[in-house]
Homo-oligomer: A and B are copies of this chain.
Amino acid sequence: MSKDQKHQGQERQEYPTSRNLYFIMQNQLSFIPLGGVGEVTKNMYLYEYNDQILIVDCGLGFADETMLGVDLLLPDISYLLKASSAGKTKKRIVGMLLTHGHEDHIGALPFLLPQLPDFPIYGTPLTAAFANDKLKEFNAKRRVQSVNFNDSEKSIGSFSFSFIPVTHSVPDTSHIFIKTPVGNFYHGSDFKFDDTPYDAKLTDYAKIEKAGATGAMCLLSDCLGAERKEKTPSDINLTQNFINEMKECRGKFIVTTYSSNISRLNQIIEASEKNGRRVCFIGRSLIKAKEVARSLGYLNLKKDIEIEIESLKNHEDRNLTLIVAGSQGQENSALTRIANGEHRDVKLKEEDVIVFSSDPIPGNETSVYELVDTLTRRGVKVIYSPVTRDFHVSGHGSLEELEHLINLVRPKKLIPIGGQYRHMFAYKKLAEKLGYKKSDIFLMEDGQELLFSDGNVKLGRTIPVKNVYVDEMSGEELEGFVLRDRQKLSEAGIIIILAEIDSNNGQLVGNPDVIVRGMSAASYDAKRLNSRLTQDFRKALGHRGRVTNWIYVRKLIGETAERRIFKDLRRRPLVLPVVIEV
């Protein structure tokens, strides 16, 4: 230790000066989730050390029913944009690491990368391939670099990291062990511990344990399964169930599943081969995932097994397996079109069997069950969970596996990620049961900074993060007020008031016109409303003479109308005043 450093250390205890504060900052790591805590999707986490920022994941969120006309959400990167722009405290994004190839971990890349400066991005082979396919599709220039699990530890800036293989519902899923000058983080994103995975690619328990032995200041852990007691079952048993069900089926065997679940696709292909069925992929997302996985050798799909949709008519139904996109009941998906009898190449017959090899994502229950009903109406046999649990198992570990990870890593502190608040809470209960103190477990909110230094952790800034809505078609962001307007419009409709005002004396000319949309005709007496509004406007306008401020007049008309409408109709539609100068 140099004299100078020692001096700083002494001063620090007694006279905190700006120089000393800088010293303190140097020994501090700031962890900020921009998305992914208190919610399952939209994963994005920042590790900040001095002027360096390392990002983990860049995922999409999915809109719920309250977000009208919106399909997708993005992590709010305002903080990153500000922090990385010129200025005294300018920070540098040194790199980004991707844990696995699911939309809620890589899906925001094409939307957010174009806004950010250049930096290297790393992911395991399939993760990189899925991400790059997406970037190409959006004409984005950046690419993700492929990293193998047995590559040696890499460094970017003051950070170094290694990828650790774990099992999940997409191949090449990894946990990331991140070393920082302040301490080591085990970033344990989505996983389960499946010891008999279909692709025989096992979790590297030894590598996890070794990481833990190096010393882990903090474990970030998937917590989505923290309410389930039993170990999550292995996927391996599903293959035999597919084989048996296909054997029984005398018509087309139709399966829908998540496109990225390559092992599931392999299981369906194997079962089809054993039953002498040819396999056809239907739906854009599925075909893309199939191509990417196949090009990397992850898909065991022999040339003569696959057939194109155009050739379906040359085969007997009982020799066909169709793997179809649309397991969530999406409006324009292949499966929905098939169910509605609107698909050109696939028509349902009574002997067909349809298997949902998936669960409804929370929020999609209504559309999934509606699709099941529509399919059932066509007379086909529909198999779906939770009625049958033979064709799908979760990709997330249950309490037993979460406990196993804690025991392997043996971290000082714990942060549950990738779950709703109730899952985070259940994870906390688990950690307490294992002997952790309440103060060692952090249930975070998006934007909440945690400061790690000298083995201590404390809450830091609260960085404001807002909902960023994106229009899937155009990629444009939607402002929050637009959503609020839509909410109002959808609940109570709109009333447009056209009022002619004489610019000479500021008086109403004649009666206003009232146009109503999205509101029941029975809910108001148009004539009465009109005459009441006329009265109110006359009174509100008073005798103000020549109009100089039209904005004020418009506002006055709007507010007066809103008051009257609420008073008489007990409703709050969107009121839009249009003032016409005459």
Is A421 in contact with B517, judged by CB distance below 8 angstroms? no
Is A478 in contact with B520, judged by CB distance below 8 angstroms? yes
User: Is A338 part of the contact surface with B, judged by Cβ < 8 Å?
Assistant: no
Best-surrounded residue of A68, A69, A515, A519 (most CB of chain B within 10 A)? A69
Given B64, B227, B387, B487, which contacts A366 in the complex, CB threshold below 8 Å?
B64
User: Is A236 part of the contact surface with B, judged by Cβ < 8 Å?
Assistant: no
Is A474 in contact with B373, judged by CB distance below 8 angstroms? no
User: Is A471 part of the contact surface with B, judged by Cβ < 8 Å?
Assistant: yes
Given B65, B496, B521, which contacts A65 in the complex, CB threshold below 8 Å?
B65
User: Is A126 part of the contact surface with B, judged by Cβ < 8 Å?
Assistant: no
Residues of chain B with a CB closer than 8 A to A478's CB: 520, 522
Q: How far is B398's CA from A92's CA once the two chains are assembled, in angstroms?
A: 61
Residues of chain B with a CB closer than 8 A to A422's CB: 369, 372-373, 376, 382
Known: A366-B363, A489-B486. A574 touches B373 (CB 8 A): no
Given B485, B491, B513, B522, which contacts A476 in the complex, CB threshold below 8 Å?
B522
Is B578 in contact with A515, judged by CB distance below 8 angstroms? yes
Q: How far is B394's CA from A164's CA once the two chains are assembled, in angstroms?
A: 44
User: Is A177 part of the contact surface with B, judged by Cβ < 8 Å?
Assistant: no
Q: How far is B482's CA from A520's CA once the two chains are assembled, in angstroms?
A: 6
Q: How far is the CB of A571 from chain B (nearest CB, A)?
A: 9
Q: How far is the CB of A53 from chain B (nearest CB, A)?
A: 27
> Which of chain B's residues has its CB closest to A489's CB?
B489
Q: How far is the CB of A453 from chain B (nearest CB, A)?
A: 27
Is B365 in contact with A522, judged by CB distance below 8 angstroms? no
Q: How far is B372's CA from A523's CA once the two chains are assembled, in angstroms?
A: 35
User: Is A54 part of the contact surface with B, judged by Cβ < 8 Å?
Assistant: no
User: Is A479 part of the contact surface with B, judged by Cβ < 8 Å?
Assistant: yes
Q: How far is B157's CA from A184's CA once the two chains are assembled, in angstroms?
A: 83
Is A485 in contact with B493, judged by CB distance below 8 angstroms? yes
* CB contact list, A495-548 vs B, under 8 A: 496, 498, 513, 515, 517-523
Is A578 in contact with B373, judged by CB distance below 8 angstroms? no
User: Is A362 part of the contact surface with B, judged by Cβ < 8 Å?
Assistant: yes
Residues of chain B with a CB closer than 8 A to A362's CB: 365-366, 369
User: Is A425 part of the contact surface with B, judged by Cβ < 8 Å?
Assistant: yes
Residues of chain B with a CB closer than 8 A to A473's CB: 570
Residues of chain B with a CB closer than 8 A to A519's CB: 482
User: Is A214 part of the contact surface with B, judged by Cβ < 8 Å?
Assistant: no
Best-surrounded residue of A382, A421, A473, A520 (most CB of chain B within 10 A)? A520
Q: How far is B518's CA from A482's CA once the two chains are assembled, in angstroms?
A: 5
**Copies per complex of this chain:** 2
Is A517 in contact with B489, judged by CB distance below 8 angstroms? yes
Residues of chain B with a CB closer than 8 A to A421's CB: 373-374, 376-377
Q: How far is the CB of A379 from chain B (nearest CB, A)?
A: 8
Is B474 in contact with A518, judged by CB distance below 8 angstroms? no
Known: A65-B65, A489-B493, A515-B576. A523 touches B474 (CB 8 A): yes
Is A522 in contact with B382, judged by CB distance below 8 angstroms? no
Known: A363-B365, A518-B485. A496 touches B578 (CB 8 A): yes
Q: How far is the CB of A125 from chain B (nearest CB, A)?
A: 36
Contact mask A415-441 → B, CB, 8 Å, 1/0? Answer: 000001110010000000000000000
User: Is A492 part of the contact surface with B, judged by Cβ < 8 Å?
Assistant: yes
Residues of chain B with a CB closer than 8 A to A496's CB: 496, 576, 578
Q: How far is the CB of A497 from chain B (nearest CB, A)?
A: 11
User: Is A477 part of the contact surface with B, judged by Cβ < 8 Å?
Assistant: yes
Known: A68-B491, A482-B493, A494-B494. A227 touches B365 (CB 8 A): no
Contact mask A568-582 → B, CB, 8 Å, 1/0? Answer: 001000101010100
Pairs A–B under 8 Å by Cβ, sample size 28: A64-B366, A65-B366, A69-B493, A372-B422, A376-B422, A471-B520, A471-B523, A474-B523, A476-B523, A478-B520, A479-B520, A482-B520, A485-B493, A486-B491, A486-B493, A489-B489, A489-B493, A489-B494, A490-B490, A494-B494, A496-B496, A496-B578, A498-B580, A515-B578, A517-B574, A517-B576, A518-B574, A580-B580
Instruction: Other than A362-B366, A494-B494, give 7 A-B pairs with Cβ distance below 8 A.
Output: A362-B365, A373-B421, A476-B522, A479-B522, A485-B518, A486-B489, A498-B578
Closest 9 CB pairs of A and B: A490-B490, A489-B489, A69-B491, A68-B490, A373-B421, A65-B65, A485-B518, A486-B518, A227-B387
